[in-house]
Amino acid sequence: MPGSVHIGLLSATRVTLPGSFTAPPPQLPQALSVAILMSVLNLRLKTATELFHGGRLAEAAALCEALAADREASSRFCGLFGELQVLRNQTDAAEPLLVAALAEAPESVRLRGLLAETYRRAGRLLEAAGLYRDLNRPALAAKLAATGGGWYRLTPPAAPVTLPWLGESGPALIEARVGDGQVGRFLIDTGVGETLLDPYLASAVGVTPFGDEAIHFPAGPARLDILFDHLPVIGWFKGIHCPFHNFF
């Protein structure tokens, strides 16, 4: 119709009707605006969670960074972003996120375990020991408490030591000297964060036991002895320190 004007719902244009009045741009109700914003944030958080569980950690972290910039602060978000920060070894960033998530879910075993791991990685071993004790992991708690709160780590030798493989194929087996001369066969596994010894070798070289804990392998459950290794370095391969499994 000549002279008629259509004003769209989301138009931000101010329209002047000749000889009449100035019509302000229409506004969404505040509650509806908030609902739309929350829906967008929830969808992005859902996507970040799916990326995380799919192993696409860098993408999940990038999306969480964007959510943090938009001031997302739900317990679910803080727990997810806190875990990602732990995996990135960003302990200073992980702690406040996990503490905020725990404020909403204080009984969450997963969140408490992540906070304990955060303290452990940050070298706050006595605080980590207290949390592990509350999580019914007395052996690990005792091991961390035995450090007196100070760092413990293996010290590399002055020069790298090259150790040959045992055999022509199969697993990466080597022989390495432990402590004052005990020799054992070890399997190099760069995906494990601890040195694993069988009980007989551990007893022979004098490591301190603190008990055992239940663990799960793909083949089924098992129990792992928790030891404190105060011995000299077990072995170095081509200058790169690797954890070793001792099976023989």
The mean pLDDT value for 41-70 works out to 92
Q: Which fold has domain 30-145?
A: 1.25.40
Exposure b/e, 148-179, CB count within 10 A at least 16 = b: eeeeeeeeeeeeeeeeeeeeeeeeebbebbbe
The answer, yes or no, to whether residue 137 has pLDDT greater than 80, is yes
The answer, yes or no, to whether residue 153 has pLDDT greater than 50, is yes
The answer, yes or no, to whether residue 187 has pLDDT greater than 90, is no
pLDDT at 198: 75
Region of poorest pLDDT, from 47-56, 124-133, 169-178: 169-178
pTM reported for the whole predicted model:
0.66
pLDDT at 9: 40
pLDDT digits (tens, 9 = 90+) for 100-133: 999 999 999 999 999 999 999 898 999 999 999 9
Spacing of C-alpha 61 from chain mean position: 12
pLDDT at 169: 72
CATH 1.25.40.10 domain residues, the chain: 30-145
